[in-house]
Homo-oligomer: A and B are copies of this chain.
Amino acid sequence: MLKLYYAPGTCALASHIALAEAGAAYTTERLDFKANQQNSPDYLKINPKGRVPTLVTDRGNLTETPAMLAFIAQSFPQAKLAPLDDAFAFAQVQAFNSYLCSTVHVAHAHKARGPRWATDETSFADMKRMVPKTVGACFALIERGMLKGPWVMGEQYTICDPYLYTLATWLEGDSVDLATLPKVADHRKRMSERPAVQKVLAEEKA
């Protein structure tokens, strides 16, 4: 049985949705970020990075959203969440998810996680001011050339979709104008109508 450690409002939502879409048998455990539970000694034994998500499997613990999403797709091939028999198409899926992880999420993180990379309040404020522009530029690139529609990779729903959806739910908080991103907005709406997404959101809010 798989077990997902998550916190509401974090990128763990992507893996949570993917597990539900895959029809996986899984349990979840919620961490309290306000109590800094992700840095508690008990959790650091599970994930020494002090972050979510972590996926506990019978072979050991996995971290890093792009790796977990590919693992879920490969472990539940009948759900067809990635083009597993086509190395190039799989690489396109992975490239999209890697961009979300290493560029888009990182741009967003400069709003509230400035202390990861600097020490002065003035630097944090400077970083925070730039977030609408940097996150906006990332999503403009996605809108213009990466999101094929109706799903990220075109007709086939993949592990790119819950990940894009997750980061797109942060856009208003990052002061990016959704009106400039009609394809992203349409994708987010279509995602929000999927039963697996509604089930997971209800669980994370409960």
Contact = CB atoms under 8 A, between A and B. Distances in A.
Q: Chain copies in the assembly?
A: 2
B134 A117 contact: yes
B94 A118 contact: no
Chain A binding surface, main DSSP class: helix
Nearest to A98: B64
| Interface range for A | 35 or more
Given A70-B91, A95-B64, A98-B98, A122 B122 contact: yes
Interface in A74-131: 74-75, 87-88, 90-92, 94-95, 97-99, 101-103, 105-107, 110, 116-120, 122-123, 126-127, 129-130
Interface of A: 48-49, 57, 59-60, 62-68, 70-71, 74-75, 87-88, 90-92, 94-95, 97-99, 101-103, 105-107, 110, 116-120, 122-123, 126-127, 129-130, 134, 141, 144-145
